[in-house]
Amino acid sequence: MNKRVQPRNMIIAGLIFLLPTILVVLLKGNSTYDTEQGLTRFVNAFLTSYTVASVFLVVNMFQYSKSRREPSAPWISMTYAAILGVLATLLLTSQGGFLMEENGSQRAQILYNVIHFIVTSLAIIIAVSIMILLSFVNLESKDRTQT
């Protein structure tokens, strides 16, 4: 039996992964959704996730450099990436109303982005935890005897 994943199976898996998004787009295809608002929310989510993830990776790289007898290049470069994310967020939210959505100040928009990121991350973590627990519940022993 060939254990290699066939390209056809990869395409099917990709389509199944994208199926919910495709269904939502097809069902709401003629709605009056404002595409500029969607772009603004996407850019806000992207900037926030980039900044928070780069700060997380700074801590991760700092611990990695401790285990490698203090090479400082990994955590210094990740610190630069985190600073770049913070500066990009501050500069883009201060440039008029493009990234402000419906918040009154720059601070309120940044706080809104961070809280939205935390809530979304917790939802994903809970969903993954439930799927892992369900997979453990459905495990069966292979040496089970037939009666």
Residues of the chain with pLDDT under 70: 1-3, 5, 29-36, 38, 69-70, 73, 96-100, 141-147
pLDDT of residue 126: 93
Burial degree of 86 (CB within 10 A; 0-12, 13-18, 19+)? middle
Residue 112 domain flag = yes
Q: Which long-range contacts (CB under 8 A, 24 or more apart) does 104-108 make?
A: none
The pTM is what?
0.51
pLDDT of residue 79: 79
Helix (H) and strand (E) counts for the chain? 4, 0
Amino acid at the residue 19: L
Residue 117 domain flag = yes
pLDDT of residue 65: 72
Residue 82 domain flag = yes
Two tokens, residue 107: 């601070």
Residue 28 domain flag = no
Residue 123 domain flag = yes
Domain count, the chain: 1
Residue 20 domain flag = no
Q: Which domain holds residue 45?
A: 34-137
Residue 44 domain flag = yes
Round to whole Å and give the CA distance between 125 and 118: 10
